[in-house]
């Protein structure tokens, strides 16, 4: 497993990590995908399992029940608002308000399913809506401050990346907030709150693995960088075969741990 990159979060350091990323990255084949699927099939599951970097970092412990809050909604709203600003120049606040208005309109028109962000927003009080707006504005502003100094072109993807493991009843999710550069030459950025934990490197490698598996030609990004604005830190991993394999193996270990937790609860 190659070393974990670490830098302070500044426009200069981020630009250097992007510009000096290795020119070549790993490429996986159908054989690699088939091998991963067989490893997951060896870990029985009574229901469809969904794994992400957070579960890897938590050693497979299942998360508690999900609930929408200003903190859980800010990333979706903030990233959507930032994408609006890139498409149609506006203030961050204006873009966040437009995004919330669109979500509420879908709820009013009956297009927002129960449990969705739009459905939840349609039922919150006005003071809470103000707090949600503030959280989303802070998120989008932080994200923009992180990347606006980059020389290479960048975009905010429409969603995270997902990979369904064939015949293994398993879906892997990779978190991504900004993609820098084009396709095979891309560097992927993930933004997180708080400070990185001891297992942050494993989480980054897991996200790297999903990004690579989901690519149509199996091409890994040149680097996968995690940004922690609150801590002023950047952690990163290279898009090497070693790191892709490590990330995939961590997912399998998380699936094993998840099954053990399930058996303990059942007992």
pLDDT of residue 260: 81
pLDDT of residue 163: 97
pLDDT of residue 90: 87
pTM attached to this predicted model: 0.93
Output the CA–CA distances (angstroms, integers) from residue 33 to 131, 167, 172, in the order listed.
43, 11, 13
Q: d(Cα 2, Cα 249) in Å, to the nearest integer? A: 15
Q: Are the C-beta atoms of residues 60 and 187 closer than 8 Å to each other?
A: no
* DSSP 3-state of 108: helix
pLDDT of residue 234: 97
Q: Number of helices (H) and strands (E) in the chain: give both, helices first.
A: 9, 9
pLDDT of residue 66: 87
Tokens of 171: 């879906």
Q: Are the C-beta atoms of residues 19 and 209 closer than 8 Å to each other?
A: no
Buried b (16+ CB within 10 A) or exposed e, 171-195: ebbbbbbbbbbeeeebbbbbbbeee
pLDDT lower than 70: segments of the chain? 1, 262-267
Q: How many CB atoms lie within 10 A of CB 30?
A: 9
User: What does the domain layout of the chain look like in residue ranges?
Assistant: 5-61+152-266, 70-140
């Amino acid at each position: 497993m190659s070393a974990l990159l670490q830098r302070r979060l500044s426009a200069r350091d981020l630009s250097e990590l992007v510009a000096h990323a290795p020119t070549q990255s790993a490429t996986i084949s159908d054989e690699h995908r088939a091998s991963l699927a067989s490893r997951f099939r060896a870990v029985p599951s009574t229901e469809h399992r969904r794994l992400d970097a957070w579960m890897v970092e938590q050693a497979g412990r299942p998360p508690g029940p999900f609930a929408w809050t200003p903190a859980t909604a800010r990333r979706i709203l903030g990233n959507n608002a930032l994408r609006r600003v890139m498409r149609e120049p506006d203030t961050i606040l204006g873009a966040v308000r437009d995004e919330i208005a669109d979500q509420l309109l879908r709820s009013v028109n009956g297009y927002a399913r129960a449990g969705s962000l739009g459905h939840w927003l349609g039922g919150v009080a006005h003071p809470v809506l103000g707090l949600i707006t503030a959280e989303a504005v802070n998120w989008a502003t932080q994200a923009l401050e992180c990347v606006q100094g980059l020389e290479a072109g960048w975009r905010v993807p429409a969603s995270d990346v997902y990979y369904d493991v064939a015949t293994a009843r398993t879906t892997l999710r990779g978190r991504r907030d900004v993609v820098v550069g084009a396709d095979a030459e891309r560097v992927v950025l993930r933004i997180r709150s708080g400070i990185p934990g001891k297992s942050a490197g494993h989480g980054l490698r897991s996200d790297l693995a999903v990004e690579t598996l989901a690519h149509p030609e199996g091409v890994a990004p040149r680097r996968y960088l995690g940004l922690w604005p609150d801590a002023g830190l950047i952690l990163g991993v290279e898009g090497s075969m070693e790191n892709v394999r490590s990330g995939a193996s961590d997912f399998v270990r998380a699936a094993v741990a998840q099954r053990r937790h399930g058996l303990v609860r059942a007992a």
